[in-house]
Every structure is written in structure tokens, then in C-alpha cells.
Amino acid sequence: MMSEERSAEGATQREFGGVPGIVLSILCFLIAVGHIYVAFDPIISEFQRNAYHFAGFAFLAAVLFPVIRGATRSLPMLIFDLCLGVSVAIAAVYMPYAEQGIYDRGVKLNTLDWLATVLCVVGAIELTRRLTGWVIPILIILALTYVGYWGRLIGGVFSFPGLSWESIAFRSIFGDDAMFGTIARISSTFVFLFIIFGAFLIRSGAGDFVINLARAVAGRMVGGPGIVAVIASGLTGTISGSAVANTASTGVITIPLMKKAGFPPKFAGGVEAASSTGGQLMPPIMGAGAFVMASFTQIPYETIVAVAALPALLYFLSVVFFVRIEARRLDLPPMESDGQTLKSAFVEGGASFIIPIAGLIAMLVSGFTPAYAAVFGILAVVASSWLTKNPMGPRAVFDALVMGTKGMIMTAVLLCAVGLIVNVIATAGVGNTFSLMIAEWAGGNLLIAIIMVAIASLVLGMGLPVTAAYIVLATLSAPALAGMIQDRFVIDALAAGSLDPTAMPILMLGGVDPALLTGAIPSEEASAIVRNLPLEVAAPLRDMVVPSEVAVGAILSSHMIIFWLSQDSNVTPPVALAAFTAAAIAKAPAMATGVASWKLAKGLYIVPLMMAYSPLLSGEWAEVVIIFGFGVVGIYALAGTLQGCMEARIGWPVRIVLGIAGAACLWPASHWVHLGAAAIVAALLVLNVRGKSAVAA
């Protein structure tokens, strides 16, 4: 018995009832239990685990997502999909057993090896097409044929002599960055376990608690329903890891609330989409991106989520400011109380959310691996649910495991498939070449480089899911951004005349006049010197004079900037999946809702600039808090400027002054400048409130 359902990402999905449905549910249950068990007791090798991981999810993807979109009830299509799923799964399971024989033959593939390899690669391409569309499959085909054929036909820096098809086949499966390599390891461990953890939270009723908590905290404020959406979506983001799923789940509650309170439908949809996009930025889970980032940068996961907290809060505050200002501009009254209080929210379901999340964070801070923390978090959800009105018994545990497995299908297939692209980028050295091109095109200007990455992320985001867009962009452009951020340290030291004397010979090799290196020089002159250095001089100069903690901070900042910018495809037309999902719920024009969400999500662009030009991610905590505080004031001022309102409407002269003061709070300058700008914003706010009071009187 089959029926049709549309997934959160828009793909048509089969739903099975009766015996087939039970069998599939049991398979999903076993896949989840198997991953949890291996996380505790690694009885198989990492390569085996990754291959089996792909095998299980490839089978589920083939069976649940038909080859022809919409053909969910066609029996011939089902038989074809079943055969494909079984074939790809068997091929993936075979690969670990073939590995030793391939090495024994001098890295030569026999007929069976070839068949299994082709099935794995073609299966990954086809299943990714079903789940995400044509962009990733086309990129995979272009990547594989580039190193096999057409790379040798092009000239210039991207010319590649080519590899034999046997070498390409071997590297596509067994390479460190290949289908069953680094990214597949992230998918089969951290990502899947946290997806299961999120499924347990949802099944325990934690989602209802989030909504109730948000209503209790913000429901009676001015703009309360919109602020409820921001809080609920931010907290739900720690569960779902998907902006579209976040929008679909919380939006059905928050969007009608906002419309009822008087917000225009397109604005209500935009608030939900912008807030749900921020869920990807909210620690401790941050979607799959945080795990990929930890692997790429070799920076501990717990460090990444710790430094990501204040920037994420800054983003959500930016959306809150827009909501409150819009409510004031429209003169909307506070929402009537629905009787929900903090006490009632916590009594009804707080334990199943607070205890597991707090325990998870405590374990990460204590040094436990994310995999262990996720598993204990799952157990904590079950145990703490018995303190609420929704205790989880065996059936609920079974349902949560099945839900987590089904929710992982697209991510698992996608991450394994993207390994084929990353492997080619690493093999051909395309990443380094592209980074050099970014540095050259930007002329060493960090702002221009960030704008270029933002444009690239938007273009990629039109066809790639957020995680895939981040992986591709980070592989190609993170080294360039990290280098430019490190150059800022070199420029400051050169301008102050405090550069390590041992670096002088290197600078002289770059054609720098020694007379310029004897003391302090103007910052603009120092900047021009460093930007004009050739890479063979700039790279060793950074290694010599940039402290290790600054270098690590630059790497982290570059990846976090790209990760943030990769989110913009959720809220930026012409392809804004989260915004379009919200528009459907709000019954508002899709493109108008997309424009509204893009306007509300300005933090996606402002905060990355703060990461680039200030130690927001790498400074001492006192310094980070100060930067955060001025950032709050600056973003509030810019929101008021864009909306033409603070606590009351403002005219153009005030808007201009407010915008300049807000930008000054965010601009890389001394804290005295920031303090003066913040004082201007505060004075304008006081005058605005007094003016409103006088009018009201």
C-alpha cells in the first residue's frame, strides 16, 4: 500500500502502509541502532562504517524517492527503484571487502571491482538528483570528467594533465576525501547521531515546550507574536538542523499568530523564514555545518560551538529588532495573554528539553566527543521525558529512531556524494588555484573577497543545499580568506614598526625597500606593501610573524564567514526555499515574502563582516563581549534606519544620522569611536521615546 508525500525540501516521497511500511520502519530502526552501537563500540573499521552508512541510506533513498517525480504509485517504477537500491547497497557493502585485493594487485581493479565502483558512483549521482535536483549531479560529472578528460584540453591555471579512469575510480571510493572518506565519516557519526537526538527531542514533545516557552517570554510584548517566532525558531534550530523543516514545523503556529496580531502576511512569512534560517547558526548543533567545519579546520567541535554562540545571538537580536520596530511602525498593540506562563511551560514539558540540552553542552565542555555527547543526550531525553506529561515508552523510542533515520536520508546521500567533488578539488589542486584567483581579483582587499564569496554562495545556493554549498565554497575559498585575515596582523605590525626583524629578508625578497622597514609607517602604505607581495613571499611571511592563535582564529573566521554566507539561499530570491515555504503557510506572494525575509536577515551579512574585521571569534571573552555589545547597538540602529522607525517613526534627517552612528558602532575602529557612536544612538532613542510620549499626551 503506497501513498505520496512531499518532503520539507520539496522532493516527492513514497509512504508505505501495511507490511511494507512495517518492514521499512524496522530497517530504519536497525540502521539507527547500528550507528549508535558502533559509536560506542567501533567493531568495524571507519571505511566499513562509512560504506555501510551509504549502503543503508542509498537503499532507503531509492525506495522512498521515485526515479520520476510524482510516480509514487507506479508498480514498475517501484520495482526498478527497489532493484537499484539493492544493487547500490550491495556494491557499497562489497567495497571494504575488495580493498585488500585491489592493493594486492597493485591498485588494479578487476571486473567485479569496476562494477561495484560504477554502481556506487552512478547510484550517488542518481539518488542525489532525486533528493536535491540536478546541480550536484552535474557538478560530480563535470568534476570526474575534468580529471579524466577535458582538464587537459583547457589552458591556463586550471589545465590538468589527467588521470587514468582506473585511478579516478579507485580515488573516488578509497581516497581520504572521497565517497567513503572524511565527509562520509562526519555523516556516519556526528551528524546522524545529532539528527537522532533531534528526533527524540521532537518525539518527547520538546517542540511544544519551545512554542509555549516563547509565548510565555514574549507573547505579551509589543510585536510579541513575531518575537515568539524568533525565539521558537532559534530553539527549534537546535533540534531540526534544517531551515526549511524549521519553517514548516514552527511556522504553522507562529505565522497565523503574527497575522492575527496585525503583521502583513509577507512580513509574517519573512520573520519565520529569517528566524528559521538562524536555527542553522544556533549552537550546539548548527546543522551539519559545524561538524564539517571541525573536520576541515581541525578545530575542536566544542570550540566552534562556543565561539558561535554570541554571533548567533546577535543574528536573532537583529531579527527581533526588525519585528519590534515594525510593530511600533504599524502601531500594533501587545497580544492578549493566553494564560501561558514560564512555570506552566516548564511543568508541561521543560524537562525533556532543558535537561538533555544542558547535559549535552556540559559533556562537550568537559571534553567528551560529540558522538558520545549525542548518545548520552538521547538517553537523557528518554529519562527526562518521564518528568513531563509525555513520557517516552518503547513505542515512542522506536518512532524516534525511525524518524531520525528518515530525516537523515537526504543528508547522508548528499554528504557521501559531495565527497566525489571534494576529492577532485583536492586531487587537482583546484582549491588552491581558486583561492589564488580570489586573492588576485580582490586585490588583497578582504571586503571585496567577502562580497565575491557572498555572490558565489548565492549562486551555488540556488541549486545546492546549504551544507553542500558550504563544503564547496570552503574548499575553494577558505584559504584565501584566512590568508587575508592574517595579512591584517602583518599590516598592523608593519605599520607600528613592531614586525619581527627576522621577517625583513623575506620582505626584501618581495621587492620591499629596506628603508621602509626601519620604523613605523602609515597604515595605508603598510597595507599596499603586504597586498602587493607575491604568494611565495606572503605565505612564508605569515607563517613566520603571525602567532599560532591568530592563525587559528583566521582559519576559524574564514570558515564561519563562508558558513554564514551559505545560509543566504534560504532567504534570498530568486530561490529562497525557507521563505517560499513560509509564504505558502502565510498565503502571501512567494517573491514578496522572499524580499521581506532577505531584508530581515541582514545579520547574515553584517555579522560575517564583524568576524572578518574584529576578534569576535578569536579574542578574549571580555573583548568579545564588548564587540558584541557595540554590535547590538549598531544593528538596532541600522534596523531603525531601514524601517524608518524606532519606538516611533523617524524622518530622513534622523535616519541618516542613525545609520551613520550604527555603521560606526560596527566599523573596525577604536572603542572610543564605538562609544561615541553608541551614545548618539542612545540619545536618538531617548528623544524618540520622549517625542512619542509627548504625542501620546
Instruction: Please report which confidence band the pLDDT of residue 600 belongs to, taking 50, 70 and 90 as the band edges.
Output: very high
Note if the bond before 284 is cis, omega within 30 degrees: yes
Do 441 and 552 lie in a common domain? yes
3-state secondary structure of 319: helix
Lowest mean pLDDT among 135-144, 331-340, 590-599: 331-340
Is 90 exceeded by the pLDDT of residue 568?
no
CA 449, CA 523: separation in Å to the nearest integer? 20
Do 125 and 34 lie in a common domain? yes
Compute φ and ψ for 183, nearest 5 degrees: -70, -35
Vertex 471, ends 466 and 477: CA angle to 5°? 115
Q: With pLDDT > 90 as the criterion, what percentage of the chain qualifies?
A: 44
Is 80 exceeded by the pLDDT of residue 286?
no
Do 471 and 561 lie in a common domain? yes
Tens of pLDDT, residues 70-95:
667 778 889 999 999 999 999 999 99
Burial class (CB in 10 A: 0-12, 13-18, 19+), 663: middle
Do 25 and 163 lie in a common domain? yes
Query: Are 147 and 169 contacting, i.e. CB atoms less than 8 angstroms apart?
Result: no
- Higher-confidence position of 214 and 582: 582
Do 55 and 157 lie in a common domain? yes
Is 221 a domain residue? no
Lowest mean pLDDT among 2-16, 204-218, 622-636: 2-16
Do 553 and 634 lie in a common domain? no
SS (H, E, C) 472-529: HHHHHHHHHHHHHHHHHHHHHHHHHCCCCHHHHHHHHHCCCCHHHHCCCCCHHHHHHH
Is 613 a domain residue? no
Beta bridge partner(s), residue 16: 2
Do 532 and 675 lie in a common domain? no
Last residue of a domain, one of 121, 148, 172: 172
Lowest mean pLDDT among 89-98, 210-219, 486-495: 210-219
Do 563 and 662 lie in a common domain? no
Is 595 a domain residue? no
Instruction: Please report which confidence band the pLDDT of residue 696 belongs to, taking 50, 70 and 90 as the band edges.
Output: very low
Tens of pLDDT, residues 185-202:
988 988 899 889 888 988
Is 90 exceeded by the pLDDT of residue 36?
yes
Residues in the chain: 697
Query: Are 186 and 295 contacting, i.e. CB atoms less than 8 angstroms apart?
Result: yes
Q: What mean pLDDT comes out for the span 523-546?
A: 82
CA 250, CA 211: separation in Å to the nearest integer? 8
Last residue of a domain, one of 172, 188, 219: 172
Do 557 and 654 lie in a common domain? no
Which residue's C-alpha cell is 573516488? Answer: 172
Tens of pLDDT, residues 154-166:
877 788 888 999 9
DSSP 35-66: HHHHHHS--S-HHHHHHHHHHHHHHHHHHHS-
Q: With pLDDT > 70 as the criterion, what percentage of the chain qualifies?
A: 94
User: Where in the sequence is the domain holding 92, given as residue range(s)?
Assistant: 2-172
Lowest mean pLDDT among 322-331, 537-546, 568-577: 568-577
Is 340 a domain residue? no
Do 70 and 140 lie in a common domain? yes
- CA neighbor of 42 nearest in space, from 200, 179, 185: 185
Is 546 a domain residue? yes
3-state secondary structure of 610: helix
Output the CA torsion sign for 575, 578, 583, 584.
positive
Report how many domains make up the chain. 3
Is 557 a domain residue? yes
CA distances 260 to 41, 111, 264, Å, are 52, 65, 9
Do 21 and 154 lie in a common domain? yes
Tens of pLDDT, residues 403-450:
999 989 988 999 899 999 989 988 888 877 877 788 778 877 889 999
CA 482, CA 172: separation in Å to the nearest integer? 28
Is 70 exceeded by the pLDDT of residue 4?
no
pLDDT at 15: 84
pLDDT at 695: 45
CA 512, CA 364: separation in Å to the nearest integer? 47
| CA 104 centroid distance within chain | 41
**Long-range contact pairs involving 255-259 (C-beta distance under 8 Å, separation at least 24):** 255/229, 255/582, 255/585, 255/586, 257/225, 257/228, 257/229, 257/335, 258/225, 258/226, 258/229, 259/586
pLDDT at 511: 75
Is 520 a domain residue? yes
Is 672 a domain residue? yes
Do 28 and 161 lie in a common domain? yes
Output the CA torsion sign for 70, 73, 74, 78.
positive
pLDDT at 174: 94
CA 102, CA 109: separation in Å to the nearest integer? 6
3-state secondary structure of 133: coil
Instruction: Please report which confidence band the pLDDT of residue 125 belongs to, taking 50, 70 and 90 as the band edges.
Output: very high
Beta bridge partner(s), residue 15: 3
- Chain mean pLDDT for the chain: 87
pLDDT at 338: 67
The C-alpha cell of 640 is what? 531603525
Last residue of a domain, one of 111, 139, 172: 172
Is 70 exceeded by the pLDDT of residue 697?
no
